[in-house]
Structure 1
Amino acid sequence: MDFSAFLNPANLQDTPRLFTAIAEWLAVFVYFNIYKRKYHGRAFVMQCIGAFFIQVAFQFIAGILPLSFWIISMMGAVGLMYLSLYLVLDIKPKDCGVITTHAFVLAEFAASLYKQLYVWLVRFEHRESFDASFCVMFITYLCTYIIYFNVERGNITPNRNLNVNTKELVSVVITGVGAFIISNISFINTKTPFSATENMLYVRTLVDFGGMLMLMTEMGRRNEMVLKNESTAINQLFQRQYEQYKLAVDNSEALRKEMHDMKHYVMALKNEDDPNRRAEVLEDMEQAIAIQESFMNTGNKVLDVILTTKSLQCQKKNITLNAMVDGDLLADIHVKDICSLFGNILDNAIEATQQVEDLEKRLITMSVRSRNQFIIIECENYSESANVRLRSSQKRRMFKSNNLPRTTKKDNVKHGFGLKSINQVAEKYGGAMNCSYEDGWFKVKVLLANKNS
């Protein structure tokens, strides 16, 4: 057999269309298992099968088109990868553009590496066969995608959007397109400054590998920056809750002093003949009495101040706050952790409850109790914003796989830190946080290890 035709540079680009489709589908499948998905179980399996056969069918059609349609075919393949990712993943359009670019460069590298290894094998074996080609493809793809999966999943935080901006998207796309053009330019025109007349497959593989590394490195750097900024924001939230607590302590002392001076109000009423002035004194007394009724006595002074402050906020917003709390259970919890834990739980509950139009449903219940070896903290509130008639599958989509509810606010990067800080406190004390929603009621449940049990 004459191998010169096979080893001719003009034929080296002829990667079997089936293998190209498999490379593109596997690249998409990798991100199906790295990024957060919309669906699981049977629906996900059917989507994977459908995506595979569509990719194979497209590559088969592209293979019978004239060479002049090559660029259009590649754009179509990328478009199918984007569509597959967008339909399966819970992802924003710009984020999907970034992921698609990563997946496409990965597929190009895997296909190029397979072809280079197979050509090297043919040179030594002096024969070619589909079986040998398939074995090389299988081993190459298996190793490449497993290694890539284990590296790339560390660069992307699960269950969170990338939230890339237009500038970042353009930068990633330019990197991907640049790698593709330089790696394939020799197959189109050998007279450019970047063309290689020999070892074209080696150049293609090397360029694709470099482009892939650049994209992965940039993603890792970006993830580190996001995590750093998030950690800073959560620490600031901790500090803000603690500052609110210290301010509330000062206010509480002032209010207690005012209650102590209640007798002066009574004397003023006895000696006041002006009806208007008497009405003002009575109003001051009513406010003082309301404040006194708001004082909590849980057995934990820190929690008393927090609950008292939040109770006063609830009164101003026509919200009923019922608390059944054993504060003695929190004796081993640090002051700042108590502030962050209860401050964020109640702030979230108040924010949701004040949007309820029916005043009778403006209710927040909180309990702290002990069971077995855990301290159980539960807060439940009616949420009208979430109380829409949804199918059960849609209700499940309100929560991420880590059981943190999806924020209803536009900027899901800056918001949601409250629940994350609650979760951090729970994990710090050997526990966990769970969020649930049923029949219009939103519940946050926190478990803390009880050292005294």
Structure 2
Amino acid sequence: MILAPLVDALADVPPDIPRVLTGLAEWLACVVYVLLRRRRWPWSRFVVLAVAALAVQVGVQVGAGRLPLGLWTVGMAAAVAAMYGFIVSAAKVSARDAGYFTARALVLAELVAALHWQMHVFFFVPEGRDGSVWSTGFFVLVYAAAFAGAYVAEARHFRSRQSLDVTSGELASTVAIALVTFFMSNISFLNANTPFSGRLGPEISYIRTLVDLCGFVALYAQQGQRLQQRARAEVRAVDEMLRRQHEQYLQSKRSIEVVNRKYHDLKHQIAVIRAEDDDDRRRSYLDDLDASISGYARQADTGNGVLDVVLTTKSLECAERGITLTYVVDGAALDFVSTMDLAALFGNALDNAIDGAAAVPATDQRLVKVAVYARDRFVLLSFENYFTGELRTEDGDIVTRRADRTRHGYGLKSIRHTAEKYDGSMTVNTEGGWFVLRILLPVPQDAPARRPSRPRPRAAVEPTP
């Protein structure tokens, strides 16, 4: 007698969404997020891949529908895996970013499928028009409008050329939201005897659609918050760049003052040399004089005007701070890099290397080495400096050892961003007490082919005695 109302209520449960429609919704949701990123393949191959992915997605859903209820989670896991495989193979995204998009696509697919099916059951099933031309047209209209609207809405938050950079914590929270949304929206079909289950047909459909909508809104708001945090980080980065420019101005001012002091010292030293009658002493004075100005007289000549300015400025800074800087640079190999990007790459890399070398207690180990050369349509940039201590990492990224992270720690991120802008890569490792930063840049196809570069004469800047 107690179970009689429950049995009567379950008899009113509406039919579940056909598996074919569920698979189609999941595939379309994946297509939405793939189109928001850069594609891995040209359109012809992408279409073939998408058609194959549609067949796999629908096939997995149909196969999962034939499994017993106890294996329901296995079927859903297979469907999610198929969605992940489609996204990671069709779009230029990392494994972590693909997981982020898969979670969002799952919630979007559930929302559209539930919304359409709720209205379909309400308008067409009672009238006996299920499967009619009108119901088919209604299905096309709802799916097209829903997924097109989702694409327009999500396009505000995702730019194809903008890196996603999803952290492990953000991925975990997104997956958690997607799983909770999916579970709560389907709990009435799994077990109607829970405090969160619906027992009437319209109630079950309404709960399902409402929960999916809440999940999609939560994920949409999460991405908006991520963008706001990134914008604040970019503002801090701009502030850091302005601060560095001010420091560069102060450094240039100090360099000018050093040169002026050298000029006044030289006048007195030349006077002493002129008055010296002993040839041996005169030669000794001249040798000392040559050593004292060696760090200031050498102008970098790399074949690239931007690098000449940067290396000359950094050479003066190294001489003042007691650091030995050596470089073998084929500047012409980097002609395809813009002036601003080239200055940012070398400025940040040399700033980090000089700061690391300056912290070494032993003066004879304060060394910085730079190398740039081209080989097989690639250009390799290498920056090495002796360092002490241990590297600190968070989420796989090296973080600054300084206490104020709001003003420091953007150098390597800026270098990585600039390298990826040219479809290149950046690697960092430690080798025998050396901190090694390497940047690999592919030469654009439209750039003229160059013979393997011959390194220019090795330049050395010794610290000023």
TM category (shorter chain) comes to 0.5 to 0.7
1:121: Cα distance to partner? 1.1
Instruction: Find the residue that maps to 1:408 and give its secondary structure.
Output: strand
Q: CA separation of 1:307/1:252 partners in 2, compared to 1, >3 Å: closer, same or farther?
A: farther
Instruction: Find the residue that maps to 1:317 and give its secondary structure.
Output: strand
Question: Is 1:223 aligned with 2:227?
Answer: yes
Query: CA-to-partner distance for each residue in 1:177-198, whole Å, 9 max, x for gaps?
Result: 1111111111111110001112
Q: Which runs of 5+ in 2 are unaligned?
A: 1-7, 302-306, 319-323, 333-338, 354-367, 383-415, 430-444, 454-465
Contact 2:327/2:371 (<8 A) preserved: no
1:123: Cα distance to partner? 5.3
- Which position in structure 1 is the counterpart of 2:15? 12
- Which position in structure 2 is the counterpart of 1:267? 271
Moved more, 154-163 or 219-228: 154-163
Query: CA-to-partner distance for each residue in 1:244-274, whole Å, 9 max, x for gaps?
Result: 1231122123214413543333333353869
In the superposition, the TM-score normalised over structure 2's length comes to: 0.66
Alpha-carbon separation, structure 2, partners of 1:400 and 1:317: 24
Contact 1:81/1:100 (<8 A) preserved: yes
Contact 1:272/1:278 (<8 A) preserved: no
> What code does the residue aligned with 2:256 have?
S
Alpha-carbon separation, structure 2, partners of 1:230 and 1:437: 35
Alpha-carbon separation, structure 2, partners of 1:22 and 1:218: 26
> What code does the residue aligned with 1:212 have?
F
Contact 1:156/1:223 (<8 A) preserved: no
Instruction: Find the residue that maps to 1:51 and give its secondary structure.
Output: helix
1:310: Cα distance to partner? 4.6
1:8-407 to 2 correspondences below 5 Å: 9-13=12-16, 15-122=17-124, 125-198=127-200, 199-270=203-274, 271=276, 279=284, 282-288=287-293, 291-292=296-297, 294=299, 308-310=312-314, 312=316, 316-319=325-328, 343-344=343-344, 346-347=346-347, 355-356=370-371, 383-384=379-380, 403-407=421-425
Query: CA-to-partner distance for each residue in 1:96-152, whole Å, 9 max, x for gaps?
Result: 222111100100111101101101112563432253443222111111111111111
Contact 1:12/1:201 (<8 A) preserved: no
| Identical amino acids, percent of aligned pairs | 29
Moved more, 271-280 or 211-220: 271-280
Query: CA-to-partner distance for each residue in 1:46-69, whole Å, 9 max, x for gaps?
Result: 222221121122223223333433
Instruction: Find the residue that maps to 1:105 and give its secondary structure.
Output: helix
1:73: Cα distance to partner? 0.9
Alpha-carbon separation, structure 2, partners of 1:280 and 1:99: 71
Alpha-carbon separation, structure 1, partners of 2:140 and 2:26: 14
Q: CA separation of 1:142/1:283 partners in 2, compared to 1, >3 Å: closer, same or farther?
A: farther
> What code does the residue aligned with 1:189 have?
N
Q: CA separation of 1:437/1:53 partners in 2, compared to 1, >3 Å: closer, same or farther?
A: farther
Contact 1:116/1:201 (<8 A) preserved: yes
In the superposition, the TM-score normalised over structure 1's length comes to: 0.67
Q: Which runs of 5+ in 1 are unaligned?
A: 297-302, 324-337, 363-380, 387-397, 412-433, 442-453
- Which position in structure 2 is the counterpart of 1:369? none
1:343: Cα distance to partner? 4.0
Alpha-carbon separation, structure 2, partners of 1:81 and 1:119: 27
Q: CA separation of 1:264/1:93 partners in 2, compared to 1, >3 Å: closer, same or farther?
A: same
Q: CA separation of 1:385/1:55 partners in 2, compared to 1, >3 Å: closer, same or farther?
A: farther
Query: CA-to-partner distance for each residue in 1:60-81, whole Å, 9 max, x for gaps?
Result: 3223333433221111101111
Q: CA separation of 1:254/1:42 partners in 2, compared to 1, >3 Å: closer, same or farther?
A: same
Contact 1:399/1:406 (<8 A) preserved: no
Alpha-carbon separation, structure 2, partners of 1:247 and 1:64: 73
Alpha-carbon separation, structure 1, partners of 2:151 and 2:158: 11
> What code does the residue aligned with 2:66 have?
I
Q: CA separation of 1:171/1:280 partners in 2, compared to 1, >3 Å: closer, same or farther?
A: farther
Query: CA-to-partner distance for each residue in 1:336-375, whole Å, 9 max, x for gaps?
Result: xx9x777426537979995538xxx59xxxxxxxxxxxxx
> What code does the residue aligned with 2:236 have?
T
Contact 1:38/1:90 (<8 A) preserved: yes
Contact 1:241/1:343 (<8 A) preserved: no
Instruction: Find the residue that maps to 1:125 and give its secondary structure.
Output: coil
Q: CA separation of 1:204/1:341 partners in 2, compared to 1, >3 Å: closer, same or farther?
A: closer
> What code does the residue aligned with 2:218 have?
M
Alpha-carbon separation, structure 1, partners of 2:169 and 2:277: 71
Contact 2:83/2:102 (<8 A) preserved: yes
Contact 1:265/1:285 (<8 A) preserved: no
Q: CA separation of 1:43/1:436 partners in 2, compared to 1, >3 Å: closer, same or farther?
A: farther
